[in-house]
A = this chain, B = another copy of it.
């Protein structure tokens, strides 16, 4: 599936997305002046809301482990304790982190939404993404919330409304027409902390399967570990990252643990890939695959360390199959995460794409292979400036095979480091 125009991509999302029964989407826009900024420049903010019709909707939330969580994270941890939610209010433009009245503001907005949709206050979250340090424009938001019921929208419009600097909206789904049984829909916002002061990866999963809260929580942890916890755009976890799942049950189909995971995992995997691909400044998606490593948690750390290495990132940005940097980054990661040297590296092979470049302790290099690999990298490159739709589905695969006993292979996704990344992140004043 590839697109050459934004409208084609949006039409595809509108036509193909599977919407679980019993959920509704709303959005409105407001304008406001930021108290922290001089002058009277008006900023535009989208208010979005997703709502479950089911009176008792099982829900699960995973939040950032950053030690300075934003107010929405603190509120979500409180309100998810009972295992049920009816809705989530989302705003872009202001992240509500480190503002003195942040938690009180989040509560006020959630409670106002609860009154508007006539649901219990404790079952509504208020989730924010955008500038860190500013106060939310609470008065303007409170005026708009009662009019949300007049502004229903499609899932695709919801996924657009929660964007900040995302290059394109991100929706994924499984189940639905042609297949019996329930549907899983996921919408994601974020691309690492890519623009000055903007933060937050937000992911929402909605299903009409019947799932008790405890099972929803347990499966979500596994699914998220393999997808969003195995990607890295900037290396830092933001103050505001949050994943919310709601299971309305309108399909009437009860799923066991395994079937739920089968429905859910591909949706999470697809969104995780899209989050990396859509990062501002990304020109290649790097896919590190670790095989034969007996410790999956260590393998995930090693993979993240390699995709976070600025030297690996910049080499790939320049279409350079620089195996010295890749070996160096892996060796540095092993010294950090396996200081006792439990992992046997003597049988390690490294392959780029499917071509072995390191074996038996030495590099296997020649001019021919380097030229072929550079061409492979070039073919997976995207224009980091272009916006609106995913340009390419390719990745740059780096395969580490320790050839030991391992139950599973581990995959970690990351982005490269391009001039556009620096432009977006450093030069926005000029």
Contacts and interface: CB of A to CB of B under 8 A. Distances in A.
A279 to B, nearest CB: 11
A311 interface: yes
A320 interface: yes
Given A322-B197, A425-B314, A365 B328 contact: no
Interface stretch (A54-62, A105-113, A206-214, A236-244): A236-244
Interface string A242-280: 000000000000000000000000000000000000000
Contact of A314 (B237, B324, B422): B422
Contact of A133 (B67, B323, B422, B430): B323
Nearest to A318: B426
Interface in A295-345: 308-311, 314-315, 317-320, 322-325, 327-332, 334-335, 338-339, 341, 345
A68 B341 CA distance: 12
Q: A interface, by DSSP: helix, strand, loop or mixed? A: loop
A195 to B, nearest CB: 10
Contacts of A363: 98-99, 132-133
A375 interface: no
A367 B315 CA distance: 38
A366 interface: yes
A354 interface: no
A193 interface: yes
Contacts of A327: 68, 97-98, 132, 239
Interface in A326-381: 327-332, 334-335, 338-339, 341, 345, 358, 361-363, 365-367
Nearest to A374: B429
A320 B199 contact: no
B197 A426 contact: no
B68 A345 contact: yes
A124 interface: no
Contacts of A199: 324, 328
Count class of interface residues, chain A: 35 or more
A217 to B, nearest CB: 20
A38 B325 contact: no
Contacts of A320: 196, 426, 428-429
Contacts of A239: 324, 327-328, 331
Interface string A46-72: 000000000000000000111111000
Given A308-B235, A324-B133, A345-B68, A425 B329 contact: no
A193 B325 contact: yes
A140 interface: no
A417 interface: yes
B324 A132 contact: yes
A37 interface: yes
A40 to B, nearest CB: 14
A361 B69 CA distance: 10
A163 to B, nearest CB: 19
A418 interface: yes
A421 interface: yes
Contact of A367 (B37, B323, B334): B37
Contacts of A425: 310-311, 314-315, 318
Contacts of A237: 328, 331-332, 335
A166 interface: no
Interface in A396-430: 417-419, 421-423, 425-430
A7 B293 CA distance: 53
10 contacts: A38-B367, A67-B331, A67-B338, A98-B363, A99-B362, A235-B309, A310-B310, A314-B422, A318-B429, A419-B423
Interface of A: 36-38, 64-69, 95, 97-100, 131-133, 193, 196-197, 199, 234-239, 308-311, 314-315, 317-320, 322-325, 327-332, 334-335, 338-339, 341, 345, 358, 361-363, 365-367, 417-419, 421-423, 425-430
